[in-house]
Amino acid sequence: MADEQNQYVKVIVFQIKDEEYTIPVHTVGSIERMMPITRVPGTKSFVKGVLNLRGVVTPVIDLRERLGIHDAEITDQTRMITVTIEGMNVGLIVDSANDVLDLDETWIEPPPEVVGEIEADYIQGVVKLENRLFILLNLEKILSKEDVLELKHVHV
């Protein structure tokens, strides 16, 4: 009997509203508590501004607003996950960052047309595990190439 090697993807689980989302650990730089953000005029509404994170100017995006989910208050649980998209560090504001999981790639199902309030474009797939549903975000779609280019020209 051949030994099948299952491919696992390690993901960070975070929450926005009542949904649990994941992004691959290898794209994550750090998970931070909220810090003061400098607003940048003329950027899209979901771009909250920039901050200096250990010497790196990092644009910050409100993931709730980007996904079309109404704003929430910033609480002690609010976190900023720094990720690398198209070679650029970006901070993503999320309601809370919960844990790290290993997901078997065979568990990933294609996204339905709409998941909750979110367009399928932003979703890579979904994983149903016990009584939980994890939504795998597609970071490249969250920020289009135009968005990334615009953010690269933001200066503090």
Q: Architecture of 8-152 per CATH?
A: Beta Barrel (2.40)
Tell me, what DSSP letter sits at residue 16? Answer: E
**Which parts of the chain have pLDDT scores under 50?**
1-3, 156
| Domain boundary assignment for the chain | 8-152
Distance of alpha carbon 36 from the chain centroid: 19
| pTM attached to this predicted model | 0.86
Q: What is the pLDDT of residues 50-87, one digit of tens each?
A: 999 989 889 999 999 888 887 778 899 999 999 988 78
